[in-house]
Structure 1
Amino acid sequence: MNLISIRIITAQIETLIPFYEQITGLQAIQYTPDFAELKTPAATLAIGSTRTLQFFGGDAVAQPAENRSAIIEFRIDDVDKEFARLKDFLSPYIVQEPTTMPWGNKSLLFRDPDGNLVNFFTPVTRESIEKFA
């Protein structure tokens, strides 16, 4: 089994797509006005509008901007460098500036415009670096 993608359902797809393009440096592939994907080597971040819920059983299936349990995580080469690049853009969204966590990753935690938590992290301890080698 392979995790292929995480999909964010949003009422503001026109805001979320450029937000994720800016923070990742990736160009989204927008298949329809209601669905886009940002592909990374490991997995895909999909963004779907609330209008796509009709294909999954209706509006009650998912509620946009209600996530309070999941964190969308990106392993990056240098969290400090990305923080410097994005600091002004992310200033209204930052939850925690780059901090070394007890498990060996240096993490930058922020929210997207829908309030979803996003973590940019870089392994910095020997154990953490080996884990992701």
Structure 2
Amino acid sequence: MKFQSNRIITSDIRRSVAFYEKALAVDAHWFTADFAELSINAFTLAIGSTQTLQLFGDDLPIHSDKSAIIMEFRVSDVDEEYLRIKDITEKIIQKPTTMPWGNRSLLFCDPDGNLLNFFTPVSPAAIQKFS
């Protein structure tokens, strides 16, 4: 089994794709007006409009406000990324902070409220884990 991608479902696909193109510094590949993908190394972020949900039938679970998923991206310099990101999002949850497990993390939201974590390993143990 190979993990292929994460998909975000949004009611404003153009806004979301434009946000992720800026946040991830990569151009999207549009397959239809309701579906695009952004590929980074071995990871693909798929974005579909709410119209694409009709393709999966009527028994989809409803998102609960008591659960959350964080998409995490390892970056070379999280402080540098913060300077770039702070102008494209209205919601920074946590400015770059060194976490107890050795990563320096920036937590922010996309336009739909999905959480993203850009992080850089900084402790010797964290650097070793990701090398």
TM-score (norm 2): 0.92
Q: % of aligned pairs identical?
A: 53
Instruction: Name the residue aligned to 2:33.
Output: 33
Which blocks of at least 5 consecutive residues in structure 2 are unaligned?
Answer: none
**Shift in Å, 1:62:** 5.4
Is contact 1:68-1:116 (8 Å) kept? no
Instruction: Name the residue aligned to 1:88.
Output: 87
Task: Count the aligned residue pairs.
Answer: 131
1:113 and 2:73 correspond: no
| CA deviation profile, 1:58-98 (whole Å, cap 9, x unmatched) | 3x5255796841001111110001111222223x2100000
CA distance in 2, matches of 1:83, 1:122: 12
1:132 and 2:130 correspond: yes
Is contact 1:9-1:64 (8 Å) kept? no
CA distance in 2, matches of 1:67, 1:15: 25
TM-score (norm 1): 0.91
Stretches of 4+ moved more than 6 A in 1? none
CA distance in 2, matches of 1:33, 1:118: 24
Q: What SS does the aligned partner of 1:80 have?
A: helix
Q: 1:53 to 1:66 in 2, by over 3 A?
A: farther
CA distance in 1, matches of 2:8, 2:63: 8
**Shift in Å, 1:54:** 1.4
- RMSD (Å), alpha carbons: 1.8
CA distance in 1, matches of 2:84, 2:53: 35
| CA deviation profile, 1:20-58 (whole Å, cap 9, x unmatched) | 000110001111000000101131110001111111113
Q: 1:24 to 1:65 in 2, by over 3 A?
A: farther
Is contact 2:6-2:44 (8 Å) kept? yes
Q: What SS does the aligned partner of 1:113 have?
A: coil
Instruction: Name the residue aligned to 1:97.
Output: 95
Matched to 1:104, the amino acid is G
**Shift in Å, 1:130:** 1.0
1:8 and 2:8 correspond: yes
